[in-house]
Structure 1
Amino acid sequence: MSTVTLATPVTLRGSHATLVPLSPDHGPALAEATRDGELWNLWYTTVPSPEGMAAAIAQRLTLQQTGSMLPFTVLDASGKVVGMTTYMNIDALNKRVEIGSTWYAAAVQRSPLNTECKLMLLTHAFETLNCIAVEFRTHRLNTQSRRAIERLGAQLDGILRAHQRAANGTLRDTAVYSITAAEWPTVKAHLDWQLQRPR
């Protein structure tokens, strides 16, 4: 009998988006998606450049083989590739995952797509994988990302000061957020409401 683990590939389907297991075949379409907004030029986050996309995919799939990451390609409602997201820093013993390494083409940013992607990932984490907590991490100065995480209902756990060195050589303070299993029913109701309200 097969067992679903925190790193078992899965497809998650919604009305605005579908999350499919990342594949090298998605490389050209992902490279095109990242050109929408030239996302790799944002200094406070790490988004693969078109030229670096194949290597980024290979790195994520290698981490998947070790059981520490489960990467997804994000499709919009029409089936077009528009971004990437992952379960990362998987802690199978303590049933914790981080949702991160997420980016979307500029055309779908600030749309219902991100909310639905997070709802699908959180639902799978809490209701199928029985996680006790899901984390989100971002640069302290990435205000757009921090607002998006807070809109989900995640709470700030704290700031890891001088946590990492960014690509431009500066030190990154990392804002750490989480949602716990006990909070999930309320957060889920909030996300469902966000998706259903008129825009």
Structure 2
Amino acid sequence: MASSSAQSLHYAKAPRMDYAGVRLEQLSMDHAPDLIQLAANGQLDEAWFATTPSAESMRLDIQRRLALQETGEMAPFAIIDLSTGKAVGATTYLNIDAANHRVEIGSTFLAMPAQGTGINPAAKFMLLRRAFEELDCYSVAFCTHWHNAASRAAIARLGAKQDGVLRNHKYDPKSGTLRDTVMFSILPHEWPAVRTQLEARLARHGRI
């Protein structure tokens, strides 16, 4: 049986995955120019409750994600729009708990023009498929800010169930407020239905 650290490092791999005109690949500093340009042009969500990196902090954010990958805590991916070949965002498995076969999908940001195009559902499809069909996860979690109504609705549309709310969960230095975190999860027996509805959404976008 693999050691706990070896399991964590296995979960923290970020292999290339292609589906529905979208690619997920290992995040690297090579993606920084595309992501910095998006941020500099105001094409990333700057809502007060968002944790999207700025153009100035993008390289540091990528370095932070890669450092967490080295310790087995995160698997960071760049989101590539295959129609342009450019990075349009990033996403991760984070809070990896390999011993309990659990990951969280989050730390995601996506260019505003790419939103509503099917890119995000395609990325979620690939992450969930790997989690349940390759990593044998017992649970995949999603967490968001209580005030991020759009994110809460998007997670619910995936078919995730709300587990609860952690009140005063984190201090948010951006807003100077305490964050209530809404917790959701998808379990293995729910994945077939989630997979079917994601495929239907991608078909409506003309991606499959």
The AA in structure 1 aligned to 2:153 is: R
Q: TM-score, normalised by structure 2?
A: 0.90
- 1:54 matched to 2:59? The reply is yes
2:151 is matched with 145
1:44 is matched with 49
- 1:170 matched to 2:177? The reply is yes
1:111 is matched with 117
Distance in structure 2 (CA, Å) of the matches to 1:58 and 1:151? 32
Distance in structure 2 (CA, Å) of the matches to 1:86 and 1:104? 12
Deviations 1:33-88 (A, max 9, x none): 23354536321010110010111011000000000000011111221110000000
The AA in structure 2 aligned to 1:171 is: L
- Residues matched between the structures, number: 198
**C-alpha contact (below 8 Å) 2:75/2:92 kept by paired residues:** yes
- 1:76 matched to 2:94? The reply is no
2:3 is matched with none
Distance in structure 2 (CA, Å) of the matches to 1:10 and 1:125? 12
2:203 is matched with 196
Q: Percent identity?
A: 46
2:12 is matched with 7
- Look up the SS of the partner of 2:96 in the other structure: strand
Unpaired stretches in structure 2, ≥5 consecutive residues = 1-5
Aligned-residue RMSD, C-alpha: 1.7
Unpaired stretches in structure 1, ≥5 consecutive residues = none
Distance in structure 2 (CA, Å) of the matches to 1:59 and 1:198? 34
- Look up the SS of the partner of 2:198 in the other structure: helix
- Look up the SS of the partner of 1:5 in the other structure: helix
Deviations 1:80-139 (A, max 9, x none): 110000000000100100000001011011221111110010000000011011000000
1:182 is matched with 189
The AA in structure 2 aligned to 1:77 is: L
- Look up the SS of the partner of 1:148 in the other structure: helix
- Look up the SS of the partner of 2:175 in the other structure: coil
Distance in structure 2 (CA, Å) of the matches to 1:198 and 1:111? 7
- Look up the SS of the partner of 1:125 in the other structure: helix
| CA-CA distance at 1:198 after TM superposition | 5.8
Distance in structure 2 (CA, Å) of the matches to 1:40 and 1:53? 14
